Amino acid sequence: MNLKHLAIGVVCSLGSIPVVGLLLQQLAEAAPNDIFFGWDFYIEVVVTGLLQGVMYALVALGFVLIFKASAIFNFAQGAMVLFAALAMVGFIEMGLHWTLAFLLAAVVMIIVAILIERVVLRPMVNQEPIILFMATIGIFFVLDGLGQTIWGSNVKALDIGISQTPWFVLQGEFFPGGLRLIPTEVVAAVVGALTVTLLAVLFQYTKVGRALRAVADDHQAALSVGIPLKFIWAIVWSVAGIVGLVAGVMWGTSLGVQFSLSLIALKALPVLILGGFTSIPGAIVGGLIVGVGEQVGEVFIGPLFGGAIQDWFAYMLAMIFLLFRPQGLFGERIIERV
């Protein structure tokens, strides 16, 4: 993973925050009845957006890992998020502590990954990307159906002992009432950041990590030096499954575990278009941009449109990107989009 790119992306994104703020301030002065703007309020919205963004980044990361290593666009990533979260809730309902439930759910995701590699990927090796994509649609429905058959389809609460009452930090001159933070979101962001860091370290400094990057670069050459692709694929799908589990837990604690979790994948799509399908830093920065963009757009520009622009804002952003930079912020090459 290219740390220089990540740094540039983060700096640019952070730099654009005050610029957007200034623009919004102008806008608020021009249309004083519709929009309220205050810097402390703005920062609060941005922070909420950043925290959301980390979660988008986590989901997008699962896509990128699989796409890099096997050139498969994994439609089932969202279903993996749901399945993982359902498994964890299932273990908690059996009376286990949530940490143990988390570990067992991780094991379940590893088994799922190995099964997918054996049953779906191995027989289809060397098929056209579109066929593999269709296979992942199949995986989506199987996981979805299986999850609901085993654990039921009602909304389940996932409680990992984080309080829901907001925190107020940095009380002072700038934030008279304090900066309002939702604990689950903060925890999610921290966990997300840790997960990404851990992955980066594993990728960069371990033998398997090196092999993974080699496969991502040139899978024929990887094969020629004796790197077993099947093993690497099983690893990548396991990692994507565990990243999905982390994302599922984080979303699940705030939204409850339900079918709509599997549609989170739809939010990851604009993130991927923004960040580039092959770039881990892209997934992270793209996630942050979409998270912040959505929140800021909803709160400050939304009133002009009568609200609820959150649902399509990310797609609009993605479309603008498709027009001007189809490979995304960090993408290596233009890929076939399905």
Contact indicator for 153, 273 with CB cutoff of 8 Å: no
* Least distance to other proteins, CB of residue 229, Å: 8
Which residue lies nearer to other proteins by CB, 2 or 164? 2
Question: What separation, in Å, do the N-terminal and C-terminal C-alpha atoms of the chain show?
Answer: 25
Radius of gyration for the chain, computed over Cα atoms and rounded to the nearest angstrom:
20
Count of C-beta atoms within a 10 Å radius of residue 226: 7
Q: How many angstroms from the chain centroid is the CA of residue 338?
A: 19
* Least distance to other proteins, CB of residue 197, Å: 20
* Least distance to other proteins, CB of residue 335, Å: 16
Phi, psi of 167 (to 5 degrees): -95, 150
Which residue lies nearer to other proteins by CB, 95 or 226? 226
Task: Give the integer Cα–Cα distance in Å for 230 and 236.
Answer: 10
* Least distance to other proteins, CB of residue 217, Å: 4
Q: How many angstroms from the chain centroid is the CA of residue 248?
A: 10
Count how many Cα atoms sit within 13 Å of the Cα of residue 72 in the half-sphere of its side chain: 29
Which residue lies nearer to other proteins by CB, 74 or 279? 279
Residues facing residue 180 across a β-bridge: 168
Which residue lies nearer to other proteins by CB, 40 or 332? 332
* Least distance to other proteins, CB of residue 200, Å: 14
* Least distance to other proteins, CB of residue 63, Å: 19
* Least distance to other proteins, CB of residue 234, Å: 14
Which residue lies nearer to other proteins by CB, 180 or 219? 219
Which residue lies nearer to other proteins by CB, 99 or 206? 206
Question: In terms of Cα–Cα distance, which of 268, 240, 291 is closest to 84?
Answer: 240
Which residue lies nearer to other proteins by CB, 128 or 159? 128
Residues found near other proteins in the complex (CB under 8 A)? 2, 125-126, 207, 210-211, 213-214, 216-228
Task: Give the integer Cα–Cα distance in Å for 41 and 265.
Answer: 30
Q: What would the two tokens of residue 292 be?
A: 């912040």
Collapsed DSSP state (helix, strand, coil) of residue 258: coil
Collapsed DSSP state (helix, strand, coil) of residue 180: strand
